[in-house]
Amino acid sequence: MNTHNHPRVLWGVLCIIFILSVLSGTSCLQDPATREREPLEFVLLVPRSDTQWARQAAQGFLDACRHHRVEATVINSQMDDNLMMLNLSQVIRQGTDGIVLMSPKPSSGWIIMSSALSSNIPIISLEEMITDSSGRQLVPYIGIDHDLAGRLAGGWAAGQMRKALWFDTEPGACKVAVLLYDDLAGMRRRTRSFTAELLESTPELTRDDCIMVDCARGSAVSGLLAMQQLISEYPGVHRWFVFGATAQSVIGAVKALEQVDLAASALACGIDGGAGFLEFDRGAESPYQAMIHVDTYEQGYRAAQTLFDYARHQAIIPAARYLPTELITRAQWKVRGGSDE
């Protein structure tokens, strides 16, 4: 006799199931907030760890992660480009919430880099912009404006040469040594901008007067050997201006000039932090009179902060964030206090 009540009972059961499903769906919507409280992990891959330039970047990265209670890992690639790509591949397989690559060379492992770009892991590059063969930027970049850095150095070089009256006597006795470092795109842009600005400002110089020489690993030893070779190849040159991709290579070149008593009539400008400041403190007699300051600590800190804002607040990661690009002379450094950073 209750057969007529069966539809009502069935309808009641369906209503209960619907209500439970809604409540379940509501709890699922709360999952992102729950996940938001889960700890984050960021990874920084550096090309080397034996320079203050790299250590400062790592310290900035670690400080920002510590501030936001993010688990941080720094991996040293030991100046091996293939090792950096292999480390990157391993990090992707293991999973992480964000990756920072310092001065990467994706050409050494495009397959791995392509895999990284196709993953859902946000990647930021420092110092070196990652581009494809056509020059198209592939990942967000944080660092200096390399073109501006080259122009600043070229303009300063031209002014100092004229101030020292280099072209008033024996104009042919002046040469510019441009110490290259590998095939990094940022270095190439700095070099082109430096050379273009210098030649435009000093018609007394020709492109042949700007001698490009490779310095393997950008080390002081490679700079020393490269400059020794130039000195022997151009025995009639008494005034050298040295411009390098790293402070270490320029410092090595300065040592070579000092060995043959050419330092007093030379000038040098590097691009780096840390090592260049130590050279500033060495003494006013050094030809190393200026450098483009690269605040790698700020780069590392900004990278970790940007990844955190993206992970926690869904903030958009800018395609490029240029940090202040500044040429600092020895005199300015002394006024600021002259202490190492």
pLDDT along the chain (341 residues), means of 10: 50 45 37 60 90 89 98 91 88 94 72 79 91 83 94 96 87 88 78 95 94 85 95 94 90 94 94 72 81 92 98 95 91 73 44
Residue 28 lies in a domain: no
Q: Cβ distance 279 to 300 under 8 Å? A: no
Q: Clarify whether residues 200 and 258 are in a common domain.
A: yes
Looking at residue 119, its pLDDT comes to 87
Query: CA–CA distance from 212 to each of 86, 188, 208, 269 (Å)?
Result: 32, 11, 9, 15
* Residue 250 to residue 268: CA distance in whole angstroms: 7
Spatial CA neighbour of 212 closest among 254, 158, 176, 250? 176
Looking at residue 140, its pLDDT comes to 94
Residue 26 lies in a domain: no
Residue 165 lies in a domain: yes
CATH of the domain at 238: 3.40.50.2300
For residue 15, the cross-strand partners are: none
Q: Clarify whether residues 207 and 221 are in a common domain.
A: yes
Q: Cβ distance 102 to 301 under 8 Å? A: no
Domain span including residue 93 = 39-144+296-324
Q: Clarify whether residues 158 and 134 are in a common domain.
A: no
Residue 15 lies in a domain: no
* Residue 114 to residue 106: CA distance in whole angstroms: 9
Q: Clarify whether residues 255 and 315 are in a common domain.
A: no
Q: Cβ distance 234 to 215 under 8 Å? A: no
Instruction: Tell me the whole-structure pTM to 2 decimals.
Output: 0.81
Q: Clarify whether residues 170 and 220 are in a common domain.
A: yes
Q: Clarify whether residues 179 and 46 are in a common domain.
A: no
Looking at residue 24, its pLDDT comes to 42
Spatial CA neighbour of 240 closest among 173, 191, 290? 173
Total domains in the fold of the chain: 2
